[in-house]
């Protein structure tokens, strides 16, 4: 692509994720990294000087005054909302790391602001661009697994403790975004338990349970305290089970031909003897590809074409809303939270989209009317809606 047709990008932040974006943005042929905002000289000293643009500042507003077309935000979570808002108000397209914001109100404001101005806004839900997750999506859609019974995810590591969000807000967005992408559905009930042993204000370990409208149950385990890195998702179906292990290079996807069926009921005891079906294990080929590079390339493509991003602001808002409810539960003794979406979001399936770049509009009406009752009983549930949400430092 000619130099004059490249999308000019400014990068905000050069820490853990910012340094990775720095490399990737330099490798994309249709992108020109022309500006950077980073207040830490220590962070700048850690990266290759060949990747750094000529214009570097510690003032975000000063970077926005340059001729950049878009901004990639890789700053601490508490800064995602104010930086993204400032960029959108200046007419810049925005890709921000997860979480999209630290409150649902702020996430909704950003999504609506981008839509009203015809700008691309995208959230760094990196794993929805992972080739292995793409394969999972095709597998679920094919029906080969049968009816999904249960999903379990584990995202564990030793660190990195964040200064402004707890482990749910830091790690769970990955698994929530994957679930939304695979299932094309949102949960109806959430409950979370965890522990804050090192920092008394921000949990380092958490277990999040989700139940979907059809009774599908999902469990998400996240931790900063584990000695061994684990990145695993298990989808158990009525016909087969698939395990996605992100740290198992060469065999990230394993399909187990295992299932359990019940026979005819015994008239005397009412017990239906189970049949255990145990077949071959398949390790399919998954095409290679770096998720972050695929994500950033997708961002550039959406800016050029006006297409709706796979992880747009509305998807980011869904994740933030779940995290808010999970936080109420986590810091309110595991109270079960009803997750009736706060707003009804029209989709591109027959809905009116913003003609300027394909983003969906938000209808400001409450949702939930007429939705089928979840399989769990509602009565007697302790709900934490009146409890202040912890888990993130106030902005």
Residue 276 is part of a domain; what is its CATH number? Answer: 3.30.360.10
Edge to edge, the sheet with strand 187-195 lists 274-282, 253-262, 241-245, 225-237, 148-158, 217-223, 205-212, 187-195, 337-338
Q: How many CB atoms lie within 10 A of CB 140?
A: 18
Give me the pLDDT at residue 268, please. Answer: 64
Task: Write phi, then psi, for 299 (nearest 5 degrees).
Answer: -60, -45
Residue 167 contacts residue 194 (beta carbons within 8 Å): yes
The pair of structure tokens assigned to 42 is: 């220590």
Do 115 and 196 reside in the same domain of the chain? Answer: no
Q: Examine residue 338 and state whether it is found in any structural domain, yes or no.
A: no
Give me the pLDDT at residue 340, please. Answer: 62
Give me the pLDDT at residue 266, please. Answer: 65
Give me the pLDDT at residue 195, please. Answer: 95
H or E element in which residue 168 lies: helix 167-183
Q: Examine residue 330 and state whether it is found in any structural domain, yes or no.
A: no
As a dihedral over the C-alpha atoms of residue 290, residue 320, residue 317, residue 188, rounded to 10 degrees, the angle is 110
Give me the pLDDT at residue 254, please. Answer: 98
Give me the pLDDT at residue 390, please. Answer: 53
Sign for the pseudo-dihedral over CA of 29, 30, 32, 33: negative
Do 55 and 133 reside in the same domain of the chain? Answer: no
Do 142 and 235 reside in the same domain of the chain? Answer: yes
Q: Which domain holds residue 47?
A: 3-127+291-314
Residue 112 contacts residue 362 (beta carbons within 8 Å): yes
Q: Examine residue 363 and state whether it is found in any structural domain, yes or no.
A: no
Do 86 and 174 reside in the same domain of the chain? Answer: no
Do 136 and 195 reside in the same domain of the chain? Answer: yes
Q: What total of structural domains would you count in the chain?
A: 2
Give me the pLDDT at residue 263, please. Answer: 78
CATH number at residue 22: 3.40.50.720
Do 181 and 197 reside in the same domain of the chain? Answer: yes
Do 103 and 180 reside in the same domain of the chain? Answer: no
Give me the pLDDT at residue 341, please. Answer: 54
Q: Examine residue 348 and state whether it is found in any structural domain, yes or no.
A: no
Do 132 and 270 reside in the same domain of the chain? Answer: yes
Q: Examine residue 384 and state whether it is found in any structural domain, yes or no.
A: no
Give me the pLDDT at residue 3, please. Answer: 64
Do 136 and 89 reside in the same domain of the chain? Answer: no
Sign for the pseudo-dihedral over CA of 345, 346, 348, 354: negative
Give me the pLDDT at residue 339, please. Answer: 83
Distance in angstroms between the alpha carbons of the first and the last residue of the chain: 40
Measured CA to CA, the distance from residue 231 to residue 253 in angstroms comes to 12
Measured CA to CA, the distance from residue 248 to residue 277 in angstroms comes to 26
Do 142 and 261 reside in the same domain of the chain? Answer: yes
Measured CA to CA, the distance from residue 391 to residue 328 in angstroms comes to 9
Task: Write phi, then psi, for 53 (nearest 5 degrees).
Answer: -75, 170
Do 88 and 148 reside in the same domain of the chain? Answer: no
Residues in the chain: 395
Q: Examine residue 91 and state whether it is found in any structural domain, yes or no.
A: yes
List CB contacts of 232: < 8 A, sequence separation 6 or more: 153, 154, 243, 244, 245, 246, 247
Q: How many CB atoms lie within 10 A of CB 368?
A: 12
Residue 87 contacts residue 27 (beta carbons within 8 Å): no
Give me the pLDDT at residue 267, please. Answer: 60
Q: Examine residue 386 and state whether it is found in any structural domain, yes or no.
A: no
Do 135 and 275 reside in the same domain of the chain? Answer: yes
For the chain, percent helix, then strand, then coil, each to nearest 5?
30, 30, 40
Q: Examine residue 307 and state whether it is found in any structural domain, yes or no.
A: yes
pTM (2 d.p.): 0.85
CA distances from 114 to 111, 130, 312 (A): 5, 25, 10
> Consecutive sets of 10 residues in the chain, 395 residues long: mean pLDDT of each?
80 96 97 97 95 97 98 97 98 98 97 97 98 97 96 96 93 97 94 95 96 94 97 97 95 95 72 87 95 98 97 96 95 87 42 36 32 37 40 48
């Amino acid at each position: 692509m000619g130099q004059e047709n490249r999308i000019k990008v400014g990068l905000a932040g050069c820490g853990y994720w910012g340094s990775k974006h720095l490399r990737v943005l330099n490798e994309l042929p249709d992108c020109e990294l022309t500006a950077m905002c980073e207040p830490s000289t220590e962070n700048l000293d850690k990266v290759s000087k060949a990747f750094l643009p000529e214009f570097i500042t510690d003032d975000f507003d000063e970077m926005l005054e340059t001729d950049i077309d878009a901004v990639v935000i890789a700053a601490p979570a508490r800064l995602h909302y104010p930086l993204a808002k400032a960029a959108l108000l200046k007419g810049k397209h925005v890709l921000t790391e997860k979480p999209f914001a630290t409150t649902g109100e702020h996430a909704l404001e950003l999504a609506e602001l981008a839509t009203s101005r015809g700008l691309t806004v995208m959230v760094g839900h990196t794993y929805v661009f992972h080739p292995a997750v793409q394969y999972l999506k095709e597998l679920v859609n094919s029906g080969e697994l049968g009816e999904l019974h249960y999903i379990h995810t584990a995202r564990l590591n030793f660190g990195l403790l964040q200064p402004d969000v707890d482990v749910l807000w830091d790690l769970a967005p990955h698994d929530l975004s994957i679930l939304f992408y695979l299932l094309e559905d949102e949960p109806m009930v959430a409950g979370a338990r965890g522990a804050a042993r090192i920092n008394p204000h921000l949990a380092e370990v958490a277990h999040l349970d989700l139940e979907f409208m059809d009774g599908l149950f999902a469990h998400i385990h996240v931790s900063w305290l584990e000695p061994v890195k684990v990145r695993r998702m298990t989808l158990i179906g009525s016909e087969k089970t698939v395990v996605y292990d992100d740290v198992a290079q060469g065999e990230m996807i394993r399909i187990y031909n295992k299932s359990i069926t019940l026979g005819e009921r015994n008239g005397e005891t009412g017990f239906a003897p189970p049949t255990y079906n145990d077949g071959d294990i398949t390790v399919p080929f998954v095409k290679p590809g770096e998720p972050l590079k695929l994500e950033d390339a997708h961002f550039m493509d959406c800016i050029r074409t006006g297409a709706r991003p796979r992880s747009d602001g509305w998807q980011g808002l869904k994740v933030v809303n779940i995290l808010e409810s999970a936080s109420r539960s986590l810091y309110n003794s595991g109270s079960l939270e009803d997750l009736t979406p706060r707003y009804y979001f029209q989709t591109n399936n027959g809905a009116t989209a913003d003609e300027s770049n394909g983003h969906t509009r938000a209808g400001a009406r409450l949702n939930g009317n007429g939705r089928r009752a979840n399989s769990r009983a509602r009565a007697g549930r302790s709900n934490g809606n009146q409890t202040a949400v912890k888990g993130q430092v106030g902005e």
